[in-house]
Amino acid sequence: MKIFAIVLYVISIVIGISVSAKVVPAGEMPDNLMLFFVGVIGAIIGLILWHRSNREEVKEMLENAKEEDNPLVHLAKVKEQINHLQVEGDYLAAVDSISEGPIFHFIEESRKLLDIFGQEQGAQIILSFAQVERALNRSWSAFSDGHIEEANRSLQHAKELIGNLEVPTV
Amino acid sequence: MQHNSYRELTVASMVLGLIQGIILNLAFVYAALKLGFSIGGSTVAAITGYALLRGVMKKGTSIENNINQTIASGINTVGTGIVFTLPALYMLNAKWAAAGEPIINFSLWPFIFSGLAGAILGVVVIIPLRKQMIDLDRLRFPSGVAVATIIRSGSTGLGKAKLLGLGFLISAIWKLLMVAGWLDIPHVIYGEELHFGFGIIPDYLSPVLYLSLMNLAAGMLAGRGGLSFFAGGALAWWVISPIAVALGWVGANLSGEAQSGFIYGQMLRPLGIGALMGGALMGVVMTFPAIKSALVALANASKLEKVQGVSNDEMPFKVLIWGLVGAVIMFFVATYMVAGVTITQAILASIIGPIWLALAALIVAQATGMTDISPMSGMALITVTIMMFILNHNIAAAMVVGLAVCVAIGQAADMMQDLKTGHLIGGRPKMQQIAQFAVTWIGAIVAIGAVYVLWKAGPGGANGFGEGTSLPAPQASVLMGIIEGLKTGNIPLAKYIMGGTLGMLLAAAPLAGLGVMVGLAMYLPFSITLGYGIGCFIQMWILKSKGVHFVEHKLVPFAAGLIIGEAITGIGHAAFEIIKTSF
């Protein structure tokens, strides 16, 4: 279904753009408008089918709960790792490891939240998460600048923010 | 949260940013009039800031340096918007005066007002856009990543610093070889491009690769996310172009580069402009609930600060409202000050101008976010076209609005790059935005003053730049040609409408930014898109074979070095060319 939708969409777009390329005198419309509209309608149908199959895919993903594809699983890991983080030892490497691990994977899959919770609630989670990430980055910078107090404060802030990050029930 | 002890927005960072910004602004206004291009100043400012704040003062912090580079690049970027527009008016007047045609009587005051309005609006519109593009869409902003890499380089260990340096060195040497023409081979390598058709691949497939390591590095930083840009270029030149040739839509008398030039100029570029506009418009519609969410988050943060006294990192929501109101008033005043503009026209321009400006800022921010390339000239063209229509072909008034839009979109793109840097190093957006608000307007006054002085420096107090002088102002010449074309009513409206419709359909796909990216790829020469695409594929291959740790710790600093190396050498080359031709 998804492949059919994408193929229909792409072919229709190619038809539409190719037809539009014909050069006509300024102020005139080309004589192949009918074909252009065929492309437009085909693209709209392809889009509807594509969006529908995406929604079904997300539903299936949540039911099967495949770990690597599920942003909520990565979010839980971020939460757990940040909560255990302390400003000590090789702190920069510890932050890097969270950034390249669960944070990276969460960001990769984060747009699925828009399908799971809807644009508004999904966006709210992603926006709140970005605040956590920035606080963690600030903690990294402060530590590297030798401001241990600020590193601690920013890490604490990151912990508070991720603690307050509410995920609605699916 | 308390941030008192950790230096961020300090007098030192502001003064240093201010000085660097003014110097860079003047230098790049001159360079743009001479060479036709401008360069962002963030990388230079970050390196100087690193040396002075940390090296000399011994107490500078990473986020303090971020404020310095934010201010410097903000003041500098305003100049770009002005130098691509205002000189066209002077040059048109000179041309028409020489031909005995009626000239345009204009004062500089409306332009100063519009420059200030543009500088303010550019910062205002990115307040909600930051959340959308950096926090939500996670756009890469390659230059922003490069600057963050410079700022962090002192703390990330010798390995990363070495990779940054290696990238810098390779890119600087490569750029030198390119601009010096030492690797040039007739018909194969020239003008910093590799022409690999060899008489076998037809020119209408655009077998040309832009030999820029900066472009390649932008693709290497974007990875899979940048593929839509490459796909747009491939669609344009490997599908549409051969179809157009096969169906006989390209004149039979055209061949070789003339054929590809026709396809680009008459077919793909206008379609690309339409797709850019349609893509941006539909992007707003599609993501409206998310944009609403971003605005609600901003408003809530402001309320929380007011009620609970909790310091937040966001600019107060009322700044967005008052900034918009203030800029609309300035738009009105600037337009109404131009001779021949009625009050109705001024009101229309002050409503439609900011709406279009917000859309253009969205397009440019999205384009730079994914590719580092700003389609400013296309936006200037559309602005002048719309305004000529609204303002009854009053060229001076249309240029007043055009200047404001160019300044604002330049500001928005630059500020977004700076905010990306800020996100990566943990700077507070509010601090960066306050700093930019406080000083960015200076850039408009400096640049307009510089253009005025350079024009007056010509024989008899005029003609200081333009054709036949040592400052040919190539970009302004292009805009001048467009204005003359508009006067004759030669606008490819059908292409804009059809491109816009398809841009909307592309933006409605479940792939972020597809409409704007495909539009941008059609608008730009394929040589750029191809180089960028190769960079994307390299990153994807490395990510698959070496993993994310290797990409973040090896590839990112190396790619950042490639970007910085070409930027710095580009500035050096511009300075060298100016000195060489001046003596």
Do the Cβ atoms of A127 and B154 come within 8 Å?
no
The answer to whether the CB of B429 falls within 8 A of the CB of A137 is no
B247, B426, B552 ranked by CB distance to A137: nearest: B426
B131, B426, B512 ranked by CB distance to A138: nearest: B426
Q: What is the token pair recorded at A4?
A: 């059919």
Which of chain A's residues have a Cβ under 8 Å away from the Cβ of B492?
26
Place of tokens 């922003």: B144
Do the Cβ atoms of B290 and A9 come within 8 Å?
no
On average, the pLDDT of chain B sits at 86
B211-260: per-residue pLDDT in tens? 999 899 989 988 888 899 999 999 999 999 999 999 999 987 877 888 99
Place of tokens 């292409």: B495
Residue A64 distance to chain B (closest CA, Å): 22
Q: Which residues contact A163 (CB under 8 A, 6 or more apart)?
A: A79, A83
Residue B236 distance to chain A (closest CA, Å): 9
The answer to whether the CB of B473 falls within 8 A of the CB of B250 is no
What's the half-sphere exposure (Cβ side, CA atoms, 13 Å) at B156?
22
B150-171: per-residue pLDDT in tens? 888 766 666 777 888 899 999 9
**Residue of B560, B549, B427 whose CA lies nearest to B141:** B560
Which of chain B's residues have a Cβ under 8 Å away from the Cβ of A131?
135, 313
Which of chain B's residues have a Cβ under 8 Å away from the Cβ of A136?
426
What pLDDT score was predicted for residue B1? 45
Q: What is the token pair recorded at B4?
A: 């008192």
d(CA B229, CA B515): 10
Q: Which residues contact B379 (CB under 8 A, 6 or more apart)?
A: B360, B363, B364, B405, B406, B409
Do the Cβ atoms of A20 and B498 come within 8 Å?
yes
What pLDDT score was predicted for residue A40? 97
Residue B231 distance to chain A (closest CA, Å): 11
Q: What is the DSSP letter of B106?
A: -
Which of chain A's residues have a Cβ under 8 Å away from the Cβ of B304?
none
Q: Which residues contact B360 (CB under 8 A, 6 or more apart)?
A: B280, B379, B382, B383, B405, B408, B409
Q: What is the DSSP letter of B517?
A: H
Do the Cβ atoms of B62 and A144 come within 8 Å?
yes
Per-residue confidence at A6, pLDDT binned at 50, 70, 90? very high
Q: What is the DSSP letter of B204?
A: G
Q: What would the DSSP string read from start to end of B136-189? A: IS----HHHHHHHHHHHTTTS-HHHHHHHHHHHHHHHHHHHHHHHTTT-BTTTE
d(CA A107, CA A99): 10
Place of tokens 């609930």: B289
Which chain B residue shows the shortest CA-CA distance from A135?
B426
Helix axes B376-390, B474-487, angle to 10 degrees: 30
Q: Which amino acid is at B38?
A: S
Residue A146 CA: distances (Å) to CA of A139, B17, B58, B151, B397: 11, 23, 12, 15, 54
B397-441: per-residue pLDDT in tens? 999 999 999 999 888 888 999 999 999 999 999 999 999 888 888
Which of chain B's residues have a Cβ under 8 Å away from the Cβ of A133?
423
A121, A136, A145 ranked by CB distance to B61: nearest: A145
What pLDDT score was predicted for residue B583? 62
Do the Cβ atoms of A137 and B425 come within 8 Å?
yes
User: CA A148, B417, B80 angle in degrees (round to 5)?
Assistant: 135
Q: Which residues contact B479 (CB under 8 A, 6 or more apart)?
A: B84, B85, B88, B377, B380, B381, B384
B61, B499, B505 ranked by CB distance to A44: nearest: B505
Do the Cβ atoms of B425 and A141 come within 8 Å?
yes
Residue B210: its H or E element = strand B208-210
Do the Cβ atoms of A27 and B489 come within 8 Å?
yes
Residue A8 distance to chain B (closest CA, Å): 12
Residue A31 distance to chain B (closest CA, Å): 11
For residue B311, pLDDT beyond 60: no
Which of chain B's residues have a Cβ under 8 Å away from the Cβ of A20?
271, 494-495, 498-499, 502
Do the Cβ atoms of A142 and B61 come within 8 Å?
yes
Q: What is the token pair recorded at B364?
A: 């440019």
A30, A100, A127 ranked by CB distance to B135: nearest: A127
B263, B424, B502 ranked by CB distance to A16: nearest: B502
Residue A28 distance to chain B (closest CA, Å): 7
**Residue of B395, B60, B512 whose CA lies nearest to A144:** B60
Do the Cβ atoms of A21 and B244 come within 8 Å?
yes
Place of tokens 């644009």: A119
Residue B263 distance to chain A (closest CA, Å): 8
B257-268: per-residue pLDDT in tens? 889 999 998 899
Residue B457 CA: distances (Å) to CA of B35, B111, B477: 18, 20, 19
Point out the least confidently predicted range of A155-159, B240-244, B326-330.
B326-330
Do the Cβ atoms of B243 and A18 come within 8 Å?
yes
Residue B152 distance to chain A (closest CA, Å): 8
B520-545: per-residue pLDDT in tens? 899 888 999 999 999 999 999 999 99
**Burial profile B138-172: b = 16 or more Cβ within 10 angstroms, e = fewer:** bbbbbbbbbbbbbbbbbbbeeebbebbbebbebbb
For residue B308, pLDDT beyond 60: no
What pLDDT score was predicted for residue B42? 74
The segment with the largest mean pLDDT, out of A26-30, A112-116, B253-257, is A112-116
Q: Is the ipTM of this complex over 0.90?
A: no
B287, B293, B490 ranked by CB distance to A127: nearest: B293
pLDDT, mean of residues A83-102: 92
Point out the least confidently predicted range of A79-83, B146-150, B473-477.
B473-477
Please indicate whether residue B462 or residue B499 has the higher confidence score (pLDDT): B499
B239, B244, B509 ranked by CB distance to A47: nearest: B509
A22, A128, A150 ranked by CB distance to B249: nearest: A22
CB-based burial label for B293 (10 Å; 0-12, 13-18, 19+): buried
CB-based burial label for B538 (10 Å; 0-12, 13-18, 19+): middle
Q: What is the token pair recorded at B459?
A: 């024989």
Place of tokens 């100016």: B578
For residue A65, pLDDT beyond 70: no
Which of chain B's residues have a Cβ under 8 Å away from the Cβ of A36?
498
Q: What are phi and psi of B107, to 5 degrees?
A: -110, 155
What pLDDT score was predicted for residue B31? 78
Do the Cβ atoms of A100 and B239 come within 8 Å?
no
Alpha helices in B372-428 (DSSP H): 376-390, 395-425
Do the Cβ atoms of A24 and B271 come within 8 Å?
no
What pLDDT score was predicted for residue A7? 96
Q: Which residues pair with B208 in a beta bridge?
A: B195
Which of chain A's residues have a Cβ under 8 Å away from the Cβ of B134?
130
What pLDDT score was predicted for residue B315? 79
This model's pTM is above 0.90: no
Place of tokens 């895919």: A57
